[in-house]
């Protein structure tokens, strides 16, 4: 059998290998190289080839001196922290409750999951109206019974917009993350809790010393998903604020860099794209190593 | 104890029902406002429309060239998902069955590629595709195929490990060729993960904005999301045309809604299956 599989190994891997090389590997290497050149999109400044237009680290220096890049970098980190915390608390809370209720489990799973299927751009338009008109004027405005200034005009203020975007992102993804947590919870053997009860453990002690350690594999997945999706978020950012009022995140910054200079500075945009890749790779790897280590300890 | 438990259950139900209402509210909101005039939307956004006027939906359908956009999006999604499923499952299967260095290296490459965000390769990719004459629908499908690979290979790889080798040996002894072996024996055994793969990829491709924006832009053969984007940005110079946006978004959401209503059980189970192994 081994020989049989070996015979087919190369042939059956060819399609995947070709796609991988053309769509990911070659553009990735091109991107690395082009970030060191005076790339203008359709041509290279002063040369026919990329290697004739090398400018060293000039693009990177420009990026680190760009106020727009720095602002969007800090803003992305702020949003990622808020969104990861919000998504995890809400989805874990929902999972704990849905597991405990007697009837209607299927109903709640279906309802909470549904927004995950809808497009971020399309629903972002709707949410922008909800924040502007329903939140600001009807629910929490000056004339309404519960006046909460923080929830009014959230999209026009960078600090409030972080939370507005996090509210929408949580609404979208919490149901999906809840399914992962539910799976993890269902894998915890019931007799662990029974034994703890006999020993007189409180609900909090059970949660802290049984549920949390046993859920570590689920935490690894959920943290990986929420960290990278929050860091990379584009559609919701574009639809809710368009990046105005200092609310631009890194994905949008990379997209808009080529539109804000004439001639379009693709070299500088690509340098930001490379920095973006390094940030995501480092954060993801560190996170997986840390949570995996916790899994083993548990 | 029982009274205490009952109160606990009651509180949990109350919270979950409130959360359900909150979750479904934007959908309700989207539906009722798709039948209202601009004035009515802004004046009374939450109430049920005074009359169900379908003219706004008709107008929105014309603006986003509904028929054409739906067909384009459907073709791209179906072909790209089929491409991803067939290619990734074959590759993952071969990687599981060959325990060589080349095989582990290949798996490492695919897994590492999950860390590459689309934004960091998009500009060179568009350049390359233009040079290859693939800045069109066909190229778009190939690109989705490439970007869907990593995650899908990873998911299949985990599942094929649990397929018993003896089953495959028996099929080969019975004279099955490699494709019969794969599609008739192995592939049906990993149905749960195929469901996950189809749903997650279809969802992402159907709703994607950035890749069609870069490849197709404001030309013909737009996808649904792209048409929506241009319909909004081109008519929005004087404030937001809500009487166009609401029905246009509803039109984009309806196909998903219909699919979900019919397949909700499979979708939820498929996602849950992927969550265990992922």
Q: Is residue B107 pLDDT above 80, yes or no?
A: yes
Residues of chain B found within 8 Å of residue A4, distances taken between Cβ atoms: 172
Closest CA in chain A for residue B142: A19
Q: Which residues of A touch B246 (CB under 8 A)?
A: 126, 129
CA distance B206 to chain A (A): 8
CB-CB neighbors (< 8 A) of B270 in chain A: none
Q: Which of B16, B87, B206 sits opposite A19 (nearest CB)?
A: B87
For B25-67, write each residue's pLDDT tens digit: 999 989 998 898 888 888 888 888 888 888 888 888 888 888 8
pLDDT of residue B259: 86
Residues of B whose CB is below 8 A from A101: 9, 12-13, 16
What pLDDT band is residue B277 in, cutting at 50, 70 and 90? very low
pLDDT at A251 over 90: yes
* The residue count for chain B: 278
Neighbours of B130 (CB within 10 A): 13
- Of the listed ranges A190-194, A243-247, B20-24, B234-238, the least confidently predicted one is B234-238
Among B26, B177, B211, most A C-beta atoms within 10 A, so best to mutate, is B26
Instruction: At A138, list the tokens.
Output: 């009807």
* For A43, nearest residue in chain B (alpha carbons): B127
* Winning range, highest mean pLDDT, from A119-123, A271-275, B39-43, B226-230: A271-275
Dist. CA B121–CA B144, nearest whole Å: 13
Out of A4, A130, A277, the one facing B172 most closely (by C-beta) is A4
Other residues' Cβ atoms within 10 Å of the Cβ of residue B157: 21
Helices (H) and strands (E) in chain A, counts: 14, 0
Q: Say whether B115 sits in a helix, a strand or coil.
A: coil
Segment B164-190 mean pLDDT? 87
**Residues of chain B contacting A5 with CB distance shorter than 8 Å:** 94, 97-98
Q: What is the ipTM of this complex?
A: 0.87
The per-residue pLDDT of chain A, averaged, comes to 88
Identify which of A20, A31, A122 has the shortest CB distance to residue B146: A20
Give A202→chain B minimum CA distance, Å.
15
A86-90, A92-96, B41-45, range with the lowest pLDDT: B41-45
Q: Which residue has the higher pLDDT, B84 or A134?
A: B84
Look at B146 and A24 and tell me if their CB atoms are within 8 Å.
Answer: yes
Q: How many CB atoms lie within 10 A of CB B3?
A: 7
Q: Is residue B1 pLDDT above 60, yes or no? A: no
Please report residues of A whose CB lies closer than 8 A to that of B45. 129, 133-134, 138
The DSSP symbol for B218 reads: T
> Which of A27, A110, A118 faces B121 most closely, judged by CB atoms?
A27
Give the burial class of A93: count Cβ atoms within 10 A of its Cβ; 0-12 exposed, 13-18 middle, 19 or more buried: middle
Contact A235 B210 (CB under 8 A): yes
pLDDT, position A271: 94
Coil, strand, or helix at residue B92?
helix
Predicted pLDDT at B236: 65
Give the pLDDT confidence score for residue A296 in this predicted structure.
66
Name the residue of chain A whose CA is nearest to B245's CA.
A125
pLDDT band, residue B278 (cuts 50/70/90): very low
Q: Which long-range contacts (CB under 8 A, 24 or more apart) does A230-234 make?
A: A230/A79, A230/A80, A230/A83, A230/A84, A230/A87, A230/A169, A231/A76, A231/A80, A231/A279, A231/A280, A231/A283, A232/A280, A232/B117, A232/B118, A232/B119, A233/A79, A233/A83, A233/A120, A233/A165, A233/A169, A234/A120, A234/B119, A234/B209, A234/B210
B229: closest CA of chain A, how far (Å): 8
Question: Per the CB < 8 Å rule, is B26 touching A23?
Answer: no
What's the pLDDT score for residue A297? 62
């Amino acid at each position: 059998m081994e020989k049989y599989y070996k015979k087919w190994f190369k042939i059956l891997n060819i399609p995947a290998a070709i796609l991988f090389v053309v769509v990911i590997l070659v553009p990735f290497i091109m991107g690395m190289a082009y970030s060191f050149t005076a790339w203008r999109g359709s041509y290279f400044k002063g040369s026919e080839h990329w290697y004739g237009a090398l400018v060293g680290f000039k693009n990177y220096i420009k990026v680190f001196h760009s106020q727009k890049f720095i602002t969007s970098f800090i803003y992305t980190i702020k949003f990622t922290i808020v969104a990861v915390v919000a998504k995890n608390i809400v989805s874990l809370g929902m999972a704990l409750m849905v597991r405990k209720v007697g009837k209607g489990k299927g109903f709640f799973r279906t309802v909470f999951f549904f927004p995950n299927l809808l497009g971020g751009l399309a629903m972002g338009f709707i949410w922008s109206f909800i924040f502007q008109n329903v939140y600001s004027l009807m629910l929490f405005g000056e004339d309404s019974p519960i006046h909460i200034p923080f929830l009014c005009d959230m999209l026009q203020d960078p600090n409030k917009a972080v939370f507005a975007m996090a509210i929408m992102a949580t609404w979208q993804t919490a149901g999906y993350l809840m399914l992962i947590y539910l799976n993890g919870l269902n894998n915890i053997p019931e007799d662990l809790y029974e034994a703890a009860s006999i020993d007189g453990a409180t609900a909090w002690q059970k949660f802290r010393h049984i549920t949390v350690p046993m859920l570590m594999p689920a935490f690894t997945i959920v943290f990986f998903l929420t960290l990278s999706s929050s860091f990379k978020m584009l559609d919701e950012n574009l639809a809710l604020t368009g990046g105005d009022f200092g609310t631009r995140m890194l994905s949008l910054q990379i997209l808009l860099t080529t539109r804000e200079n004439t001639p379009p500075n693709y070299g500088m945009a690509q340098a930001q794209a490379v920095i973006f890749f390094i940030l995501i790779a480092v954060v993801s790897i560190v996170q997986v190593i840390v949570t995996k280590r916790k899994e083993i300890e548990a | 104890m029982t009274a205490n438990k009952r109160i606990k259950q009651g509180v949990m139900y109350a919270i979950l029902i409130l959360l359900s209402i909150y979750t479904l509210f934007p959908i309700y909101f989207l539906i009722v406002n798709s039948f209202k005039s601009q004035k009515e939307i802004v004046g009374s956004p939450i109430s049920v429309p005074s009359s169900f006027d379908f003219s706004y939906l008709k107008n929105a359908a014309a603006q986003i060239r509904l028929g054409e956009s739906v067909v384009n999006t459907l073709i791209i999604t179906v072909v790209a998902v089929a491409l991803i499923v067939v290619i990734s499952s074959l590759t993952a299967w071969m990687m599981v069955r060959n325990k060589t260095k080349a095989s582990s290296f290949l798996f490492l490459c695919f897994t590492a590629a999950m860390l590459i965000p689309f934004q960091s390769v998009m500009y060179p990719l568009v350049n390359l595709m233009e040079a290859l004459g693939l800045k069109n629908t066909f190229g778009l499908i190939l690109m989705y195929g490439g970007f869907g690979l990593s995650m899908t290979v990873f998911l299949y790889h985990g599942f094929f490990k649990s397929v018993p080798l003896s089953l495959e040996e028996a099929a080969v002894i019975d004279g099955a060729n490699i494709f019969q072996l794969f599609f008739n024996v192995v592939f049906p055994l990993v149905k749960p993960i195929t469901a996950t793969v189809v749903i997650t990829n279809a969802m992402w491709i159907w709703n994607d904005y950035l890749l069609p924006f870069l490849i197709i832009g404001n030309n013909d053969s737009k996808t649904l999301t792209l048409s929506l984007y241009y319909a909004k940005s081109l008519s929005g110079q004087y404030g937001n045309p809500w009487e166009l946006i609401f029905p246009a978004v509803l039109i984009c959401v309806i196909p998903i809604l219909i699919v979900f209503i019919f397949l909700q059980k499979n979708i939820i189970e498929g996602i849950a299956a992927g969550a265990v192994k992922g």
